[in-house]
Structure 1
Amino acid sequence: MYKIDIDNTIAQQPFDGLQIEKLAKTESMEILSISLAKDAIFPKHTSPKDAHLVVLEGSIDFHIENQSVTLLPQQHFGFSKEVEHWVRALSDAKFLIIR
């Protein structure tokens, strides 16, 4: 029988500044769960791989190359590796980074 292992990391992740949890990692990909409290900032950084951001709840402003885009629940945004970016939470927000 196949063992099903349910993980509640996302649901249990608090809204307390910036919280980052690694949900999964293989040789070819990684999934991170990010929680940002309202007005918290994920400071400027780059990704080592091309990445996709999927908003689960709340809203964020994603800043990249002198542009800003507001993302809402169930919206998706892809961006290239090694491009500096940062994120600000407009409300308590949770999103996934898949890279």
Structure 2
Amino acid sequence: MYTINNTIASQPFEKLKVDKLVKTDFFEILSISLEKGAVFPEHTSPSDAQLIVLVGDIVFHIDGESYPLKTQQHFNFPKEEKHWVKANENSKFLIIR
């Protein structure tokens, strides 16, 4: 009935890693780790999304702008807008969409 999941804690910093933590009919939560200097290549989200930085320092690029984000910061972005992310240091963040 109740479970503890250690995916985030055990997710390595090896370039780009994406793990789906939760998927329901209404939303999904992705756990993403980026090694320092690694890039999450340009892509779009199928729905409006929330990004929460758990640890690290990333730059989120969208609509010709760059947004530096650090540990415990939150950022929201719209669906179907091309974006990409670069890690300035080993980083982990959640995408909720």
Which runs of at least 4 in structure 1 moved beyond 4 Å after TM superposition? none
| CA displacement, residues 21-44 of structure 1 (integer Å, 9 cap, x when unaligned) | 000000010000000000000000
Aligned-residue offset at 1:4: 2.0
Structure 1 runs not aligned, ≥5 long = none
User: Aligned Cα RMSD in Å?
Assistant: 0.4
3-state DSSP class of the match of 1:10?
A: helix
Q: Which residue of 1 aligns with 2:42?
A: 44
Aligned-residue offset at 1:92: 0.1
CA distance in 2, matches of 1:9, 1:41: 21
Structure 2 runs not aligned, ≥5 long = none
Aligned-residue offset at 1:11: 0.2
CA distance in 2, matches of 1:43, 1:5: 32
CA distance in 1, matches of 2:85, 2:95: 12
Scaled by the length of structure 2, the TM-score of the pair is 0.99
Structure (1 or 2) with the larger CA radius of gyration? 1
Aligned-residue offset at 1:70: 0.4
| CA displacement, residues 61-98 of structure 1 (integer Å, 9 cap, x when unaligned) | 00000000100011000000000000000000000000
3-state DSSP class of the match of 2:37?
A: coil
Scaled by the length of structure 1, the TM-score of the pair is 0.97
Q: How many pairs does the alignment contain? A: 97
Q: How much identity, in percent, do the aligned residues show?
A: 59
